Amino acid sequence: MKFCSPSRLFFSCFILLTFFSCKRQTDTIDPYDYAPERLTELMPLETGKYITYRLDSLVFTNFQRNPEIHSYKVKHVIDALLTDNLGRPSYRVYKYMTSDTGTENWQAIGSYFITPLPEQVEVIDDNLRVIKLRVPVTEGSEWKGNSYLPTDPYESYGYNFSNDDDMKNWMFYYDTPESIFSYNGNDYTDVVSVEQQADSSNVPIQAPQSYAYKTRSVEKYSKNIGLVYREFTLWEYQPNPNGTNPYYTGFGTTMWMIDHN
């Protein structure tokens, strides 16, 4: 009877362990989730494509004391394949706005760039660059989506609050996929949610003498359609000494798809 030498026995065990280890990884990881095509399914990019949204905008009136919701319709139209400010092939998207009833003429309100890369999709809007999507598209997968943002990115827009102090370190992640997501009577199928931030204190405000804030950022994408829902809210409530002349600073937007081609 022949016996294996210790070195050969060790080598054989190593090969077996490696094989079974690799097999387990193959069984639990779907290569489809790592494919760049998965990103283009969630954000299809083609010249002429548009999505129309209903937009609710949170503003503060009466010397920043009273919160109000102003409603509109907005349309995002992919105009052309150009280059972004970093010289990369990118799609330019024009934005248009009309009244919530849609009875007024569409007015141009600006543009932004969508840059599809092999491992991620970036959006540059108002000179703010955000990694919106990233492979692998699997539940729990996370990344620092705001890593390109400067410190206090909204300070230059006149917002003096603490909501954006640590914004560049927000950890984006994919939440549990939803076969159907419903909002305001609209149903969307095959939805992937990107959770970005959810933090608040004293909201709704029950103690007017106390400081309050809300930070909420989430986006939902429907397969072969694109972005179907977004909430982006950053506001702070300052009670002031003795609760005299309290005020808010910040903004909020909630938009959801109502039409597309």
What residue segments make up the domains of the chain, in order of their start?
Answer: 31-260
The pair phi, psi for residue 87, each rounded to 5°, is 80, 20
pLDDT of residue 30: 55
Give, for 82, the enclosing helix (H) or strand (E): strand 66-83
pLDDT of residue 197: 98
Strand, helix or coil at 121?
Answer: strand
Parallel, antiparallel or unpaired: strands 247-260 and 212-222: unpaired
CA-CA-CA-CA torsion sign (101, 106, 110, 116): positive
Q: What does each of the 261 residues of the chain score in pLDDT, given as a tens digit?
A: 444 544 444 444 444 444 434 443 444 445 555 555 689 999 999 999 999 999 999 999 998 999 999 999 999 999 999 988 888 999 999 999 999 999 999 999 999 999 999 999 999 999 999 999 999 999 999 999 999 999 999 999 999 999 999 999 999 999 999 999 999 999 999 999 999 999 999 999 998 889 999 999 999 999 999 999 999 999 999 998 776 789 999 999 999 999 999
Rounded Cα distance, 27 and 25, in Å: 5
pLDDT of residue 242: 72
The pair phi, psi for residue 197, each rounded to 5°, is -165, 140
Asked if residues 60 and 32 have their Cβ atoms less than 8 Å apart, the reply is: no
Which residue is listed with tokens 């506001």?
235
The pair phi, psi for residue 168, each rounded to 5°, is -70, -15
Rounded Cα distance, 93 and 260, in Å: 14
Tell me the HSE value of 127 on the side-chain side, using a 13 A CA sphere: 5
Rounded Cα distance, 92 and 82, in Å: 7
Number of residues in the chain: 261
Burial class (CB in 10 A: 0-12, 13-18, 19+), 51: buried
